[in-house]
Amino acid sequence: MRKIGLSFVFTFLFILVSAYAYADKVYNTDVVVIGAGAGGMTAGVAALEKGMKVIILEKMPGIGGSGNYMEGTFAVGSDMQIRENIGINPEKQFKTVMNFHHWRIDPDVLNAWLKQTPYTIRWLEQHGIHFEKVTTAFIDGNRTWHMFEGGHGSSLIKAFAQQIKDNGGTILTETPAKQLIIKNGTVVGVIAENADGEKVTVNAKAVIVATGGFPCNKEMIKKYLPYAGYQYAGAAGREGDGIRMMEAAGAKLVNMNVVMQAGLWLQGVSTDQQFHRGAKYVKMIAALNQPYLFTSLQGNRVVDETQSLEYISNAFEGVGGEGFAVFDENTKKLWENTGLIRGYFGVVERMEKIENFDSMLADGIKQGWAFKANSLNELAKMTGMDPEVLKATAANMNKMTEAKYDSQFYKDPKWLRAVDKAPYYALKGSLRMYSTTGGAKVNSNFQVINTNGKAIPGLFAIGQDAGGLYSDSYDMHIAEGTASSWAINGGRLSISYIADNYK
Ligand SMILES: Cc1cc2nc3c(=O)[nH]c(=O)nc-3n(C[C@H](O)[C@H](O)[C@H](O)COP(=O)(O)OP(=O)(O)OC[C@H]3O[C@@H](n4cnc5c(N)ncnc54)[C@H](O)[C@@H]3O)c2cc1C
């Protein structure tokens, strides 16, 4: 009898201890931020500075998201720009951007963001973020791109992680948010799940959604984007969780078909092997994006090759998302002996020479993204292009080059180049995005707007979860660095509003 009594007590204690260990975790805070990327980390630092308690939920084991990849951020009228006599300010930029987007974006939201941008560069500098320079990737472009130290936003993420820790903020990694908590139409928290499978409830006065859009979600890509084969560059984990949670809460979604993209990528080559200074094939992606001859998979010319890279991507959306850069031995020699005419995003400078073209080409031939042939006929057969179409395209290009007049797309004739000296080459490219850009409609305080046009109390969206910055195309050539600036400034502006209205 005594024995039974003891084992009962032990069993009871065991259940009690287990229940405690595996109990739901409940936190109470002022602000909960979903996503520890560029926008979320900025919101975290800004909230603590305003004296609010903050918890940041991050789905992945590491923090930073795509914020680790951004090279530079946008501002107009910053101290750096004023010092260097760069005559650009929010008023001029407002007109340019509204015209470019045909007044199909919200002018008040645009203005609130633009006006904040110079102060944010100053605020970032005051928070230990260093910029190397303010620049542009385009010949005669607007110098709006404030380059992070080392060319990578990871310096911002690292500095902000330390500041959040030092000032008592909490970042919970491997804790994806699953659902918004809504009471009487007001968003009052988030339910998440940690790595041990435990339910994590965070009750908060305000919720900021910053999960980085949906570039890693194949179903959403198929549903919303014009090209279902889109791959993504940058961080994994951006699967549209935030957008889906907000839609379930009644948010209106806008500009869901627009992605942040620039030119073509070497097909099948990992982002890390082609997209940073010194990457193994970085000069090959630069070669792929030179302004000479782009063809479709069939061999038709696709676009005025001198257009800004986001336009080149847009044009390829219209022909199936894949194609080729086609060139001849003379062009190859030009790149080896004189250099690449068009630089590539600060990772390859204008006029840099390609020293190891043949060895990269050999790799590309093995991997299926590069081709070399003694005739156009042979090149077409290797690549799958229609030989008659490719030969006609090349013949037309040669005729236009000789005539110094592009009768097809009216490209500046100085960029016309013949394709008439064997051997012939093709590099295969396809579309890859940095991010999606559509998301919840927001107002100037980054409050989420519902389908009836009203702000949803307690709910904010920033960065790539907030739509409304681009109407039907990414606009890099009029403003470089806007995506990260939208995220970072959204973090500051939403916190400013929360501090004034929810404390
Ligand atoms: C290669 C590359 C180069 C770029 N270069 C530039 C540039 O030079 N200039 C520029 O302006 N922009 C650039 N960008 C874009 C820039 O990185 C983004 O605009 C910016 O990071 C967006 O910030 P965000 O906070 O919206 O998303 P992110 O920084 O991507 O952060 C989102 C975070 O949310 C997390 N998350 C997702 N789902 C959940 C969930 N359910 N629960 C919790 N957490 C979740 C993700 O894991 C991620 O950490 C570049 C992007 C790439 C990929």
**Tens of pLDDT along 410-458?**
999 999 999 999 999 999 999 999 999 999 999 999 999 999 999 999 9
CATH number at residue 444: 3.50.50.60
Are 408 and 424 in a shared domain? yes
Confidence band of 267 (pLDDT split at 50, 70, 90): very high
User: How many Å lie between the centroid of ligand 1 and the Cα of residue 37?
Assistant: 5
Beta carbon of 177 within 6 Å of any ligand 1 atom: yes
- Ligand 1, atom nearest to 465 Cα: 26
Are 222 and 318 in a shared domain? no
Beta carbon of 147 within 6 Å of any ligand 1 atom: no
- Ligand 1, atom nearest to 232 Cα: 53
**Tens of pLDDT along 147-179?**
998 878 999 999 999 999 999 999 999 999 999
Best residue for ligand 1 mutational test, from 69, 148, 164 (most atoms within 8 Å of Cβ): 69
Q: State the SS3 of 125-185.
A: HHCCCCEEEEECCCCCCCCCEEEEHHHCCHHHHHHHHHHHHHCCCEEECCCCEEEEEEECC
Confidence band of 20 (pLDDT split at 50, 70, 90): very low
User: How many Å lie between the centroid of ligand 1 and the Cα of residue 126?
Assistant: 23
Are 247 and 306 in a shared domain? no
Best residue for ligand 1 mutational test, from 207, 211, 465 (most atoms within 8 Å of Cβ): 211
Q: Is this model's pTM higher than 0.85 or not? A: yes
Beta carbon of 411 within 6 Å of any ligand 1 atom: no
Is residue 452 included in any domain, yes or no? yes
Q: State the SS3 of 274-317.
A: CCCCCCCCHHHHHHHCCCCCEECCCCCECCCCCCCHHHHHHHHH
Full residue range of the structural domain in which residue 313 is found:
264-430
Decide which of 380, 406, 430 is a domain's last residue: 430
Are 376 and 294 in a shared domain? yes
Residue 54's closest CA among 65, 66, 41?
41
**Tens of pLDDT along 115-125?**
999 999 999 99
Are 301 and 226 in a shared domain? no
Are 197 and 254 in a shared domain? yes
Is residue 10 included in any domain, yes or no? no
Is residue 18 included in any domain, yes or no? no
Decide which of 403, 430, 457 is a domain's last residue: 430
- Ligand 1, atom nearest to 39 Cα: 25
- Position 1 scores a pLDDT of 46
Provide the domain count of the chain: 2
Is residue 12 included in any domain, yes or no? no
* CA gyration radius, the chain: 26
Beta carbon of 434 within 6 Å of any ligand 1 atom: yes
Decide which of 385, 405, 430 is a domain's last residue: 430
Q: Tell me 318's DSSP state.
A: T
Residue identifier of the C-alpha nearest atom 50 of ligand 1: 70
**What's the rounded Cα separation, in Å, for the pair 40 and 491?**
6
Are 307 and 284 in a shared domain? yes
Q: Is the pLDDT of residue 16 over 50?
A: no
User: How many Å lie between the centroid of ligand 1 and the Cα of residue 481?
Assistant: 13
User: How many Å lie between the centroid of ligand 1 and the Cα of residue 433?
Assistant: 12
Quick one: tokens of 43? 């919101």
Are 103 and 165 in a shared domain? yes
Q: In percent, how much of the chain has pLDDT > 70?
A: 95
Residue 285's closest CA among 126, 455, 430?
430
Is residue 5 included in any domain, yes or no? no
Work out whether strand 231-232 and strand 170-172 pair parallel, antiparallel, or are unpaired: unpaired
- Position 286 scores a pLDDT of 97
Is residue 322 included in any domain, yes or no? yes
Beta carbon of 57 within 6 Å of any ligand 1 atom: yes
Best residue for ligand 1 mutational test, from 68, 70, 469 (most atoms within 8 Å of Cβ): 70
Are 148 and 244 in a shared domain? yes
- Ligand 1, atom nearest to 464 Cα: 26
Are 81 and 134 in a shared domain? yes
User: How many Å lie between the centroid of ligand 1 and the Cα of residue 177?
Assistant: 16
Are 352 and 253 in a shared domain? no
Is residue 16 included in any domain, yes or no? no
Beta carbon of 44 within 6 Å of any ligand 1 atom: no
Q: Positive or negative CA dihedral for 151, 342, 65, 188?
A: positive
Neighbouring C-alpha atoms within 13 Å toward the C-beta of 49: 16
Beta carbon of 161 within 6 Å of any ligand 1 atom: no
CB-based contact 350:341 (threshold 8 Å): yes
CA distance to 14, 87, 133, 250, per residue, from 144 (Å): 62, 11, 10, 35
Are 313 and 426 in a shared domain? yes
Is residue 153 included in any domain, yes or no? yes
The average pLDDT across 253-273 equals 96
Beta carbon of 71 within 6 Å of any ligand 1 atom: yes
The average pLDDT across 256-284 equals 94
CATH number at residue 289: 3.90.700.10
Lowest average pLDDT, out of 4-8, 45-49, 315-319, 419-423, goes to 4-8
**What's the rounded Cα separation, in Å, for the pair 37 and 34?**
9
User: How many Å lie between the centroid of ligand 1 and the Cα of residue 466?
Assistant: 12
User: How many Å lie between the centroid of ligand 1 and the Cα of residue 175?
Assistant: 17
**Tens of pLDDT along 323-362?**
999 999 999 999 999 999 998 987 898 999 999 999 999 9
